[in-house]
Structure 1
Amino acid sequence: MSINCKINEYMNAYTQLWPFSGAVVVVDKSKVIFNKSYGMASIEHSAPNTIKTKYKIASLTKQITCMGIMILKERGLLSTQDSIRRFFPDYPEFDERITIHHLMTHTSGLYNDFSVIDPYLIMGKCLLTQREIFNLFKDMPLEFQPGEGWSYCFFGYYLLGVVIERVSGKSYIEFIKENIFEPLGMNSSGLDDYREILPDKASGYYVSGDRLICSEIDTMSAFSAGALYSTVTDMLLWDEALYNEKLVSKETMNEIFTPYKEGYGYGWFIDSNLNRKRVRHSGGGNGFNHQLHRYIDDKVTILVLSNYGFSNSISINENIAKIVFGNTYCMPSNPKAYNLDLNVYDSSYAGIYEEEYSKYEFKRNEDNLYFIQEGKWVMLIYPISENTFHHTWVDQEYIFEKDGKGEIYFDGIKKNVK
């Protein structure tokens, strides 16, 4: 059976078990060996996903923002070691030790959470100006000294977009279009603005209880940290450009793919999978969930785009990698229920897990187990082991952990004990 047929068999089995909407693309040495779209771009308007569908690519934006910075670097207009104070003399609050390199590698120590704006919407349709964004973050204390720690930082990437604007004299999207999108022929990519009519634009969906719901999140104010949109076709053009020197030199590409703290380069995680070097990134919000994985020594790329914010895109991506590289893989299956004593659930797991901007409440109604995320999304679950639960109809596991003191954690958040 060909690789194409095996992937198709896997995805057919997957979509029979779990809801999935989006696209799966596999490229092997510049040849597309699998490209198929699934589900609806707009359920409300019965519009299917196709190769023309425009997806909000969320944090996949970061790699394109870094490319913009590196183009400016090659032109001698900035250095990755420049202090950000060079570009923001009007903001003396910024620590002069923070460099462009720190912003691109998430090692700046800047406060990292856009949910300071709204803990539930997380950059909803706020239409915040740059000044408003800056005023929210400029006085926040550093989480660690620049270069000494690592924390995924949206604001750092927002600043990179403003650096592009201040150095180039153009708007962020004008620069990106003129220097990346247009040279590559990425004519269906741009900066999302929900006020504009955009043909073939996918809507994002999430899950609550036993139904799909529309996502009210919009990425516009995330700017250079996560507001671009693109299509399958354009992302293939982007992938191919990363192998040649059409945008920047090979030396610059090597710099982009150099791992720093936590294996993060310039807009990419660099790691290994299946004993092969991989550069990858996710992109997601409460309506989209993407995974772009590139095995650069093998010239294999696997792209999973989804307009279901709950999609297990990383599992799909990594299982398809096993198929492509001839490793053993398992066909999709529905985990069997574990006979957990519900008294254990009540005494150990049920309750509230809350920190500054995250909240989960695990509850039970007779034999029905569920949790409520952020006070609004209901997740129906069932046990598959003593401490692991699975969504009843979404391909997602939820794991509880216990520390040495016997305290229970979910998603890194400790259970409240009253």
Structure 2
Amino acid sequence: MNTYFKINQYLDEYTSLWPFSGAVLVINNEQVVFNKTYGMASIEHSVPITTKTKFKIASLTKQITCMGIMILQERGLLKVNDSIRKFFPDYPELNERITIHNLMTHTSGLFNDFSVVDPYLMLGKRLFTHQEVFDLYKDLPQEFEPGEGWSYCYFGYYLLGVIIERVSGKTYAEFLKENIFEPLGMNNTGLDDYIEILPNKANGYYASGERLVCCEIDTMSAFSAGAIYSTVEDMILWDQALYNNKLVSQNTLNEIFTPFRNNYGYGWFIDEVTNRRRVRHSGGGNGFSHQYHRYIDERVSILVLSNYGFSNSFDINENIAKIIFNEKYSSPSKPRKSELDMKVYDTYTGVYQEEGFKLEVKRDNELLYFVQENKWVMPIYPISADKFHHTWIDREYVFEKDDKGQLCFDGLKKVY
């Protein structure tokens, strides 16, 4: 059985058990060996996903932003070790020790992500201006000294986009179009703007109870941290450019894929899987869930794009990699329900919160569930004393204690 049929069989089994909508692309040695789409770009209008469907790629934007910075460095217009104060003399609040390198590697120490503001306001259908974003973040205290820690940071990547604008004299969108997208022929990739009519654009969906719901957030204000849209066809061209030196030299590509703290390079996580070097990144929000993994020595790339924000794109990607490399992988299956003393579950009930995100674990007689952000009801069932599974989507949740003995659920700490 050849690779295409093995991957196709796996995905047929998977989609028979779990809801999935999106596209799966596999490239081996620059040859597309699998390229198939599933589900609907618009459920409301019965529009199927195709290879021309435009997905909001969310944080996959970060690797493209970093490429823009490195193009400017090759042209001698900046250096990654430059202090960001060089580009923001009008903002003396910014720590002069922070470099562009720190921004790209999430080691700036700048206040992290959306906890300063309601994330559903920041990611609503309203475009924040640069001034508004700066006013939200510029006076907040550093989380750590530059280079001495690691924290995934939206504001740091937002600053990179503004640096591109200030150095190039172009808007971020114009610079990417002229220097990345047009040279590569990526004619269906750009910066999302919800007021513009964009043909073939996928809607994002999430889950509540046992039904799909429309996503109410947008990526527009994520800017250079997450506002790009693209298609499977264009991502093939992007993937090729990361091998053929069409945009930057091999030395620059090596620099991009050099891990720093937390195994993060310039817009990529860098790790190893069964002795294979891998560069990868996720992208998503409540309406999208993407995983892009590249085994750069074997020249194998696997892209999973989904417009279901709950899709388990990571496991899908990893299992496809195991198929490609003829390794043992887990066939799709639904875990069995385990008996659980409700007194144990009652010790888990309560509110969990961290960095502005909140969920509440609850039960109603035998019905077990949690509620995210007071919006989405997620029904679960026990598969062990501390592990639970969603009733109809491919998601597992674990209750565990951190090193301080505090109970955590889905990465959030219990507050009461």
Name the TM-score class by shorter chain: over 0.9
Distance 1:405 1:246, change over 3 A: closer
Does the 8 Å CA contact 1:352/1:416 hold for their aligned counterparts?
yes
Per the alignment, residue 38 of structure 1 pairs with: 38
Per the alignment, residue 14 of structure 1 pairs with: 14
Per the alignment, residue 414 of structure 2 pairs with: 415
Per the alignment, residue 373 of structure 1 pairs with: 372
CA deviation map 1:61-88 (0-9, x unaligned):
0000000000000000000010000000
- SS of the equivalent of 1:116 reads coil
Q: Cα distance, 1:298 vs. partner? A: 0.1
Per the alignment, residue 352 of structure 2 pairs with: 353
Q: Count how many residue pairs are aligned between Structure 1 and Structure 2.
A: 416
TM-score (norm 1): 0.98
Write the distance in 2 (CA, Å) between the matches of 1:309 and 1:344: 30
Does the 8 Å CA contact 1:114/1:123 hold for their aligned counterparts?
no
Q: Cα distance, 1:372 vs. partner? A: 0.3
Per the alignment, residue 252 of structure 1 pairs with: 252
Does the 8 Å CA contact 1:120/1:374 hold for their aligned counterparts?
no
Moved more, 216-225 or 120-129: 120-129
Write the distance in 2 (CA, Å) between the matches of 1:234 and 1:403: 42
Per the alignment, residue 88 of structure 2 pairs with: 88
1:395 partner letter: D
1:390 partner letter: H
Write the distance in 2 (CA, Å) between the matches of 1:356 and 1:97: 25
Q: Cα distance, 1:330 vs. partner? A: 1.9
- SS of the equivalent of 1:270 reads strand
2:384 partner letter: S
CA RMSD of aligned residues (A): 1.1
1:108 partner letter: S
Q: Cα distance, 1:117 vs. partner? A: 2.6
Per the alignment, residue 113 of structure 2 pairs with: 113
The runs of at least 4 aligned residues of structure 1 exceeding 6 Å deviation read: none
Q: Cα distance, 1:126 vs. partner? A: 2.4
Write the distance in 2 (CA, Å) between the matches of 1:74 and 1:54: 30
Task: Tell me, yes or no, if structure 1 residue 336 matches structure 2 residue 358.
Answer: no
CA deviation map 1:292-323 (0-9, x unaligned):
00000000000000000000000000000000
Does the 8 Å CA contact 1:363/1:371 hold for their aligned counterparts?
yes
Does the 8 Å CA contact 1:115/1:122 hold for their aligned counterparts?
no
2:335 partner letter: P
Q: What aligned pairs does 1:301-312 form with structure 2 within 5 A after superposition?
A: 301-312=301-312
Per the alignment, residue 158 of structure 1 pairs with: 158
Does the 8 Å CA contact 2:114/2:355 hold for their aligned counterparts?
no
Per the alignment, residue 4 of structure 2 pairs with: 4
Does the 8 Å CA contact 1:352/1:359 hold for their aligned counterparts?
yes
- SS of the equivalent of 2:243 reads coil
Moved more, 25-34 or 355-364: 355-364
CA deviation map 1:13-72 (0-9, x unaligned):
100100000000100001100000000000011000000100000000000000000000
Write the distance in 1 (CA, Å) between the matches of 2:264 and 2:28: 24
* Gapped regions of structure 2 (runs ≥ 5): none
Q: Cα distance, 1:109 vs. partner? A: 0.3
Per the alignment, residue 315 of structure 1 pairs with: 315
Does the 8 Å CA contact 1:289/1:305 hold for their aligned counterparts?
yes
Per the alignment, residue 67 of structure 2 pairs with: 67
Q: Cα distance, 1:402 vs. partner? A: 2.4
Distance 1:121 1:397, change over 3 A: farther
Does the 8 Å CA contact 1:115/1:123 hold for their aligned counterparts?
no
2:374 partner letter: G
Write the distance in 1 (CA, Å) between the matches of 2:283 and 2:120: 19
Write the distance in 2 (CA, Å) between the matches of 1:412 and 1:226: 22
- SS of the equivalent of 1:69 reads helix
Does the 8 Å CA contact 2:192/2:227 hold for their aligned counterparts?
yes
Does the 8 Å CA contact 1:115/1:121 hold for their aligned counterparts?
no
Write the distance in 1 (CA, Å) between the matches of 2:62 and 2:355: 26
Task: Tell me, yes or no, if structure 1 residue 293 matches structure 2 residue 293.
Answer: yes
Write the distance in 2 (CA, Å) between the matches of 1:129 and 1:405: 40
Distance 1:100 1:380, change over 3 A: same
Per the alignment, residue 99 of structure 1 pairs with: 99
TM-score (norm 2): 0.98
Does the 8 Å CA contact 2:120/2:217 hold for their aligned counterparts?
no
1:401 partner letter: E
* Gapped regions of structure 1 (runs ≥ 5): none
Per the alignment, residue 125 of structure 2 pairs with: 125
Distance 1:189 1:363, change over 3 A: same
Write the distance in 1 (CA, Å) between the matches of 2:26 and 2:304: 9
Q: What aligned pairs does 1:224-239 form with structure 2 within 5 A after superposition?
A: 224-239=224-239
